[in-house]
Amino acid sequence: MAAFENFDNIFLDLSKESGKCRFAENGLGWKPSGGGNTFTLDRGDIANAQWSRAAKGYEVKILKRSSELVHLDGFQQEDLERLGKIFKNWYSINLDPKEHALRGWNWGKTEFSKAELVFNVQNKPSFEIPYSEITNTNLAGRNEVAVEFANSNENDTGTNGHLGGARGRGKKSGAGKDQLVEMRFYIPGTTTRRETEGEEAGSGEEGGEEKNAATLFYETLMDKAEIGETAGDAIATFLEVLHLTPRGRFDIDMYEASFRLRGKTYDYKIQYEAIKKFMVLPKPDDLHFMLCVGLDPPLRQGQTRYPFIVMQAKKDEEVTIDLNLTEEQLKEEYKDRLQPHYEQPLHQVITYIFKGLANKKITSPAKDFMTHRNQFGIKCSIKAAEGFLYCLEKAFMFVPKPATYVSYDQTSTIVFSRVSGAVSALSTFDIAVHMKNGPTHSFSNINREDLKALESFFKLKGLRVKNEIDEDANMLAAALRQEAMDESEEEVVGPRAERGSADEDEESVDDDFQAESESDVAEEFDSDHESSGSGSGESDVDGGAANADEDEEMLDVDEVEQQKPKPKKQKTSK
């Protein structure tokens, strides 16, 4: 054999660019055709090799002794014999051909190898998942396990752009425009650890004990993927810290590059790189502090995304903790960011350690705004969810659920309004935050006494404010003034007109009554004397008028006048 064996148009770890692969007795190398850094692998690091069909032809998958995988894709079928001799003669390793299952079945048997999780169908691999690509796993149900993969930017190759865009450890999911972020396995029944892990399982009593198959799969994957580091490696641990989002109590294990939330059902491993914001928010009850951690990418729990983690701690709950770090590590790696010993309230200790390990800025509410009760948090609600709104130096923050962050820079207009028809419309108001690009955020049921303070703060920050409450109040006041003026005019003009007509009626009634009173009495007396029938009829009328009050007399005047001509006719007939 020649001293070198060269292969062209070979892709390294899903790289965008092809390159030239060269094999030699002391190892192998790969260099992108467009120029760049060269990848090399020493022969002593090669533990195993496998030949199989791949996306761009055939690939050689090499397992390193450090349990890392190297993929070389783009070989032709006729290269198998040539490569087999290279690995046999130079590296003393057999290049094992592997055929993949092509039936498309979604049921099979899982196998935990040294570097990847293999899903076999009829004893043939259907797909493999490298442990380095798994970021988290959870028990999604009694017999269901959820496996989450690393979110990666298409341009973030993990190699800083070197090696022709080859995907580094934990970055392979970003090779395409669409990427798989979660996979779920349904694992019914019971099994033993020996059956789950295969030959790697111990021969002790625990290996033969039957357990729930899904739970055993979950625990094995946690160990293999190194999702749950051992407690001894943790720099600091906080037990049963109350979390408002996601809801529950979690133990917090803080490591050098990540922290872990351990609950009864779910476990989360979060890199410090994913922390974008850290806020300390005092609760208006003067008893608790809320710690809000902003994440990008957000935390996932099934289909639910949590862009913020909200913790709550009592104001007077003190803890004593010693960090699992040497003095040399504190001086060299963390300098003045961490102290070896803490004896302070819980929320302060968590804040200091997060700040030291993640090296993130701590944000607190703006000092320019206070509510009418001298608090930083405003009690309000988003739709039916009640919470607290905080005015920060550069944004709004609503907690605990749904945790909402609204930057002042993206705000177009802030509108103060009152809910029409609400019983509490006079004591509360709403805020609608219109964004330059995006949906409108509405915060309702805010105490009316905080209106002026909020309006002054927004104007201080240079935000555009529209107060519809004052406009409505001015319109209402003008309408009430106009209505009052109309009523006063009616009170002045109306009664005079009624009194004038009443005087005229009274005068006409009195004149008629006085002019004919004597003749009526004489005629009635004479008629009574001559005829009792007519006299009895007239006496009924006169008797009713005499016994009635003055108002009834005014109403019955017309009837009396109509009955008066009758006795006159009787008198003339005589």
pLDDT tens-place string over residues 521-535: 444 444 444 433 434
pLDDT reported for residue 559 = 45
pLDDT reported for residue 149 = 85
Residues 343-352 have a mean pLDDT of 95
pLDDT reported for residue 376 = 94
Two tokens at 355? 């700040």
Q: Is the whole-model pTM more than 0.85?
A: no
For residues 330 and 562, what is the distance between their CA atoms, to the nearest angstrom?
119
pLDDT bucket at 566, cuts 50 / 70 / 90 = very low
pLDDT reported for residue 505 = 45
Say how many Å lie between the first and final Cα of the chain, rounded.
Answer: 167
pLDDT of residue 74 exceeding 90: yes
CB 339 within 8 A of CB 350: no
pLDDT tens-place string over residues 474-524: 555 555 566 666 666 655 555 444 444 444 444 444 445 444 444 444 444
Q: Which residue has the higher pLDDT, 119 or 162?
A: 119
In the chain, % of residues over pLDDT 90: 47
pLDDT reported for residue 557 = 39
77: Cα separation from own chain's centroid:
52
Two tokens at 458? 């927004």
Residues in the chain: 574
Name the residue among 329, 332, 287, 340 with its Cα closest to residue 312. 287
pLDDT tens-place string over residues 76-128: 999 999 999 999 999 999 999 999 998 889 999 999 998 899 999 999 999 99
pLDDT reported for residue 363 = 94
Two tokens at 292? 């809000």
pLDDT reported for residue 33 = 87
H helix or E strand, kind and range, residue 194: helix 193-197
pLDDT reported for residue 541 = 39
Strands of the sheet with 385-391, listed across from one edge: 404-407, 395-399, 385-391, 377-382, 441-447, 428-435, 411-417, 465-467
In the chain, % of residues over pLDDT 70: 75
List residues bridging with 391 in a β-sheet: 396
Residues 183-202 have a mean pLDDT of 78
pLDDT reported for residue 519 = 42
Pairing of strands 46-54, 95-98: parallel
Two tokens at 498? 């009624």
pLDDT reported for residue 477 = 53
Per DSSP, the residues of 459-508 read HHTT--EEEHHHHHHHHHHHHHHHHHHHHHHHHHHHHHHHHHHHHHHHHH
pLDDT reported for residue 176 = 72
pLDDT reported for residue 474 = 52
For residues 194 and 201, what is the distance between their CA atoms, to the nearest angstrom?
5
Average pLDDT of every residue of the chain: 80
pLDDT reported for residue 250 = 94
pLDDT reported for residue 482 = 61
pLDDT reported for residue 200 = 54
For residues 55 and 144, what is the distance between their CA atoms, to the nearest angstrom?
30
Residues 354-361 have a mean pLDDT of 92
For residues 15 and 71, what is the distance between their CA atoms, to the nearest angstrom?
10
Residues 330-339 have a mean pLDDT of 87
Q: Which residue has the higher pLDDT, 139 or 47?
A: 47
Per DSSP, the residues of 102-119 read -S--S--EEEE-SSEEEE
Q: Which residue has the higher pLDDT, 499 or 340?
A: 340
